[in-house]
Chains A and B, each alone.
Chain A
Amino acid sequence: DTAVSQTPKYLVTQMGNDKSIKCEQNLGHDTMYWYKQDSKKFLKIMFSYNNKELIINETVPNRFSPKSPDKAHLNLHINSLELGDSAVYFCASSQEGRRGSYEQYFGPGTRLTVT
């Protein structure tokens, strides 16, 4: 079983469209994240949810909206896609708190290409 899964793996779309990326973890973790990896491989956190509550919200355009329906899922919706949104988006999860191990487990990534 895949620990952290993302769909789709590849996403090609045109400027101005709206798209969503889904993430699911079966590790029983209480915290989930979205990262963006640019063309130079630089990884930057975008959002973090702990027990469905938004904890980290970095300087991200409000065209990006995360949604966590439950602890095992964290989706990312992007409105009005722009060329600069092209990147690889990674979902991750971790167990925090007193019983936490704190390491983050990453999904396989979603390569978004905006044309």
Chain B
Amino acid sequence: AQSVTQLGSHVSVSEGALVLLRCNYSSSVPPYLFWYVQYPNQGLQLLLKYTSAATLVKGINGFEAEFKKSETSFHLTKPSAHMSDAAEYFCAVRPNSGGSNYKLTFGKGTLLTVNP
């Protein structure tokens, strides 16, 4: 069984400020973890992924996330927010192997707004 909790359905930051979007997961097996971004009226775009290599993962658009097993967390950060970062962000978890279960479980999403 697996689940994802994203703390904060809405996060608002000023342009240039630190972005921190929180994600905690639960998984009965070692997980793979993902962050996706969804801009209005678009599909989901992969920001970054953790697949049991380095625990600090760098993604596109200056985002990064750190896998912390002891805290079951995979928080997304960006040092300096840009207006173009305004979007919905989803954290997702799946088992760390294929086999017969490829199920990706998503959190409920966090809407990031960036104020000028």
Q: B-contacting residues of A (Cβ < 8 Å)?
A: 4, 31, 33, 40-45, 48, 50, 55-56, 90, 92, 94, 96-97, 100-109
Contact A31 B43 (CB under 8 A): no
**Residue B90 at the A interface, CB < 8 A?**
yes
User: How many A-B pairs with Cβ below 8 Å?
Assistant: 61
What is the size category of the interface that chain B forms with chain A? 20 to 34
Contact check: which of A41, A100, A106, A109 meets B98 at CB < 8 Å?
A: A100
Please name 28 pairs of A and B residues whose Cβ atoms are closer than 8 Å in the assembled complex, sorted by A. Answer: A4-B43, A31-B102, A33-B102, A41-B38, A41-B88, A41-B109, A42-B109, A43-B90, A45-B103, A48-B102, A56-B101, A56-B102, A56-B103, A90-B43, A90-B44, A96-B98, A96-B102, A97-B98, A100-B98, A102-B49, A102-B102, A104-B34, A106-B44, A106-B45, A107-B43, A108-B42, A109-B41, A109-B42
Closest-CB distance, B99 to chain A (whole angstroms): 9
Which of the listed residues A40, A50, A102, A109 has the most CB atoms from chain B within 10 Å of its own CB?
A102
